[in-house]
A and B are shown apart, each in its own frame.
Chain A
């Protein structure tokens, strides 16, 4: 009999893992549940109080300077990645190792469907990069093919920045 050993969770407020209290399979309650779950999703935590109280006092991530604007913003280009939809490359603007913005330098071109996918993916991935940064996560589970191209590029850019 095996049990999963989770690292001990601190009681510091701001560490959301899941929200939502509805029992699965109650059709009448689904709509209210869905709204609640999404309104109080994990990303709200990262921005909810806007302070560094999100993490425990050891605060040892060392990768961001919250609230600080030191350093000249610089631009880092990720590697070009081949996806099934064509080559993708992302440019990341950094300021003090905090991501300011993400722009796609090269998009898959070609047929209309490729262009549609790219158009859908880019703004979301720009936002995703920012949210991932504010949520202080180390990695993401759930990426899809086109996203991997971008995320990989983002990681590449962050790696080059020495984050």
Chain B
């Protein structure tokens, strides 16, 4: 019999919302299902407000000019303001107005998960992991002495992992091609970005890392220089030819498989 202590876990829940599957993994047994319900209700509210796939969402109506910014809630205005700031911070490579349609979803998903994280913290959660289709935010430790282990998919072989990020409190987002093929559009050229296979950004909030990963993908070969200048964020880049690059602060590489 294993000597390891069995952790009594809180609820683990997966919710389909915002066009993806959101995994809510709470390790704190003191957190009950009503808190998870509050989280899912929040995510659906975000969806109803910001989804570009719902014709009657606030964002869709705003995009068609049926309502004005002044008619929108403070939250919507804040999100759009932040999107505009991110456009400046990324030199235009993250652009909520790309394709001539208002679509801040590259920022909204991460931001929504950040708020979900705060809901859980406010409820007293000491340990949880949220994953919205690959956008991850962790808090605390999954079990005593063990950090969260976040596998990063190898874009050239999606059945394999290419890196594992270990941390207690971190936000990680990966923008990439993988099975969907090039789908990140370079807003400055209007064409699919094709230099990079994937970009993973880690930082202290998902809203920013989400936008930065998307922007870096669009930047292509110019991404490493820009990512280096990003204070407080670390990144891991895989080019389409398989070359890897990472920021100085990305965790220390250690070799383990022995070479033949």
Residues of A within 8 A of B (CB): 1-7, 9, 13-25, 30-31, 33-35, 37-45, 48, 55-56, 58-62, 65, 81-82, 117, 120-121, 123-128, 131-132, 135-149, 151-152, 155-156, 159
What bracket does the count of chain B residues touching chain A fall in?
A: 35 or more
CB distance from A118 to the nearest CB of B (A): 11
A-B interface, 8 closest residue pairs, ranked by CB to CB distance from nearest: A34-B242, A142-B153, A24-B245, A7-B147, A44-B257, A2-B232, A137-B151, A124-B159
Cross-chain contact B224 with A48 (CB below 8 angstroms): no
Cross-chain contact A131 with B160 (CB below 8 angstroms): yes
30 contacts between A and B (CB under 8 A): A2-B231, A2-B232, A5-B167, A16-B255, A18-B251, A20-B253, A23-B245, A24-B239, A24-B245, A31-B242, A33-B243, A37-B244, A48-B257, A58-B143, A61-B4, A62-B2, A121-B179, A124-B158, A137-B151, A137-B164, A138-B148, A139-B131, A140-B153, A140-B161, A142-B178, A143-B134, A144-B134, A147-B178, A152-B14, A159-B14
Q: How far is A81 from B19 in the complex, measured between Cα atoms in Å?
A: 12
Q: Which B residue's beta carbon lies closest to that of A83?
A: B21
| Chain A neighbourhood of B168, CB < 8 A | 5-7
B residues 126-156 near A (Cβ < 8 Å) are: 129, 131, 133-136, 138, 141-156
Task: Name the one of A13, A15, A39, A155 contacting B14, with C-beta atoms under 8 angstroms.
Answer: A155
Q: How far is A121 from B148 in the complex, measured between Cα atoms in Å?
A: 27
CB distance from B150 to the nearest CB of A (A): 6
| Chain A neighbourhood of B134, CB < 8 A | 140-144, 148
| Chain B neighbourhood of A148, CB < 8 A | 20-21, 133-134
Assess whether B180 is interfacial by the CB under 8 Å rule. yes
Assess whether B50 is interfacial by the CB under 8 Å rule. no
Known: A30-B239, A48-B257. A60 touches B204 (CB 8 A): no
Known: A17-B252, A138-B150. A120 touches B179 (CB 8 A): yes
CB distance from A11 to the nearest CB of B (A): 9
- Residue-wise interface mask of B (187-206) relative to A, using a CB-CB cutoff of 8 A (1 in contact, 0 not): 00000000000101011100
| Chain A neighbourhood of B142, CB < 8 A | 138
Cross-chain contact A58 with B164 (CB below 8 angstroms): no
Cross-chain contact B251 with A17 (CB below 8 angstroms): yes
Assess whether B73 is interfacial by the CB under 8 Å rule. no
| Chain A neighbourhood of B237, CB < 8 A | 24
| Chain A neighbourhood of B170, CB < 8 A | 4, 6
Cross-chain contact A141 with B242 (CB below 8 angstroms): no
